[in-house]
Chains A and B, each alone.
Chain A
Amino acid sequence: MSPRVVFPNKILPYLLVAPQLAITLVFFYWPASQALRQSMLREDPFGLSSKFVWFDNFKKVLSDPNYLNSIQVTAIFSVSVAAVAMGTALLLAVMAEKVVRSRNLYRTLMIWPYAVAPAIAGMLWLFLFNPSIGSLAYGLRWLGINWDPLLDGEHAMALVVAAASWKQISYNFLFFVAGLQAIPKTLIEAAAIDGAGENKRFWTIVFPLLAPTTFFLLVVNTVYAFFDTFGIIHAVTGGGPGKSTETLVYKVYNDGFVNLILGDSAAQSVILMVIVIALTAIQFRYVEKKVHYG
């Protein structure tokens, strides 16, 4: 057991945690309970009165083909972002390990994208891949790809995935570099002496030992792709074309703030809240327990 501080004064400890509690109550529990209440109300078309409908909003949302489409979009988007952001970051981290000279400069440069605001990252990619003025769009066209993210849903998806991943690579990179450094060099040397080539060493020694880091990042990246990419999607595609890049979070915004269907939107928020709680529970159960070897 860790040593515990005992306060002689009974009230002081409560006073000390009060500010944090107040902030949590005002900015989390209160809006959360409002959302929960709102999700069970239905407003009349003019927004003059509302009545309590129990779980009708949830039933309606879950049977809405647009919502099911949004779930699918979110799944594709999150898996792609997590895969691209983590795969690229791991590759870069492994390569950074081998850099001998100006290693720190290289690392610093790798971390910069993380400081860029989501909407700005979105704009950056939007310009780069703008069909008429983007330099990278020009390159794609030159390769024979009929690049048009404004009309082609798959192209739009590729664009938001690229923008969202790009921003997350820095974060993942930092953790992978730390994870790689934590692997004792003698293990790699022992494997080399045991006749494992470089590739084999990576997949049989390094990658398994990185598992705790990878798992942690998987959860973090999923949460990121779910909830922190609103700015990018808003700036790049606005959920379109059609609804091909409308993720769950973006749909909450669209239904609630654009279309003002408050009941549906609130029900969707509550579903998202359940998803966050589930993800957090997974993280606590497996990551906080520290899947470590030694």
Chain B
Amino acid sequence: MATVDLKDVRKVYAGGVEAVKGVSIAIPDKALCVLVGPSGCGKSTLLRMIAGLETISAGTCSIDGKVVNAIGPTERDIAMVFQNYALYPHMKVYDNMAYGLRNRGTPKDEIDKRVRATAQTLELEHLLERRPRELSGGQRQRVAMGRAIVRNPKVFLFDEPLSNLDAKLRGQMRVEIKSLQRKLGVTSVYVTHDQLEAMTLADVLVVMNAGLVEQLGAPLDIYEKPASTFVASFIGAPPMNLLPLRGGQLEDAITLPEVSGNATMIGFRPEDCEVGADGATSSDGLRLMARVDGVEPVGSESFLYCAAGGGKIVVRVAGRTEVLVGDQLPIFARREKLHFFGSDGKRV
């Protein structure tokens, strides 16, 4: 049980690459913090600094109120699940899970009890005598989880643990990781590039971009109030529609609410669009004409890919749709669902 505190943490690699450029995050006890961002933005680097696998170039990392900058990974009492699982190939599943306990001098019968209890939780009992190469991808993932859980560490670290699984398994494991983390109440840091994983898992969501924190907060707050166009287009699928404003005006707009002075970009989510809404006035929201370029029926919903307002937008409609390619439609978005961004990309 521990808090994790990062204060202005930086990482400059030997080659001169500045991978993390001053990140401050305070993770409360028992919370699941998700770092999300595009590939190469420094998520893994940050996680590896918390683990002690990379030195911290500047700033401090504290676990449970104690600065750990100078403490190696061996003494930090953390557990990590790697993207490739990093199971010891020459050891049976049992020994993979027991390894960390043995290194810490846990008595033999205690080890046995804990390994078996963990194996039961993760439904791994029948696999204990197998070697990693005799397991499927999903089973390996569970063993990697088991190896982390069995030690009962202060902090769990996950580096894209689900990215090697197929979509269905990924969904199952996501739910399972969340409920396990809740049950065990261990402070966790979870790295992913998948915004859906990030949204569903996080207590604290950290959106990173190019070595910096772009936005930090509760997932739904970030979804509802993205701090920048980067966050707006990264969180949510399909991403938010962003259209350029020229002198406070939008091309093709039929009605447009008053734009705050310096906004150069207007945004609205595909799921906040309504088709039609005739008779709406500018005080109700945005209405603009769109030409349908493509229709994607998914079953439960359909996506209309349109050209409008001098750009491309996506519109979500529930269920089936009668709309055809080439149709001209009025699209309506409520005023409270509109987002405005300045020329620096920040929310105004």
Question: For A189, A191, A194, A204, which residue has the most chain B Cβ atoms within 10 angstroms?
Answer: A194
Given contacts A189-B73, A190-B80, A192-B53, contact A208 B99 (CB under 8 A): no
Contact A209 B90 (CB under 8 A): yes
Question: For A190, A192, A204, which residue has the most chain B Cβ atoms within 10 angstroms?
Answer: A190
Among residues of A, the one whose C-beta sits closest to the C-beta of B78 is A193
| Interface set, chain A 193-226, CB cutoff 8 A to B | 193-197, 200, 204-205, 208-209, 211
- Among B52, B74, B133, point to the contact of A196 (Cβ < 8 A): B74
Contact B86 A186 (CB under 8 A): yes
- Classify the interface of chain A: helix, strand, loop or mixed: helix
Chain A residues near B52: list those with CB within 8 A: 192-193
Write the nearest CB–CB distance from B129 to chain A, whole angstroms: 16
Contact A196 B99 (CB under 8 A): yes
Chain B residues near A47: list those with CB within 8 A: none
Give the docked Cα–Cα distance between A187 and B86 (Å): 5
Contact B53 A189 (CB under 8 A): yes
B66-105 vs A, CB cutoff 8 Å, 1 = contact: the mask equals 0000001110101110101010111000000001100110
**Contact-size category for B:** 20 to 34
Write the nearest CB–CB distance from B324 to chain A, whole angstroms: 51
**Contact-size category for A:** 20 to 34
Contact A294 B103 (CB under 8 A): no
Among residues of A, the one whose C-beta sits closest to the C-beta of B79 is A193
Chain A residues near B53: list those with CB within 8 A: 189, 192-193
| Interface set, chain B 90-146, CB cutoff 8 A to A | 90, 99-100, 103-104, 131-133
Q: A189-B73, A190-B80, A193-B73 are in contact. List 18 more A-B contacts (CB 8 A).
A: A184-B84, A186-B84, A186-B86, A187-B89, A189-B51, A193-B51, A193-B53, A193-B74, A194-B100, A195-B100, A196-B99, A196-B103, A197-B74, A209-B90, A211-B90, A293-B131, A293-B133, A294-B133
Give the docked Cα–Cα distance between A106 and B345 (Å): 51
Contact A209 B89 (CB under 8 A): yes
Chain B residues near A197: list those with CB within 8 A: 74
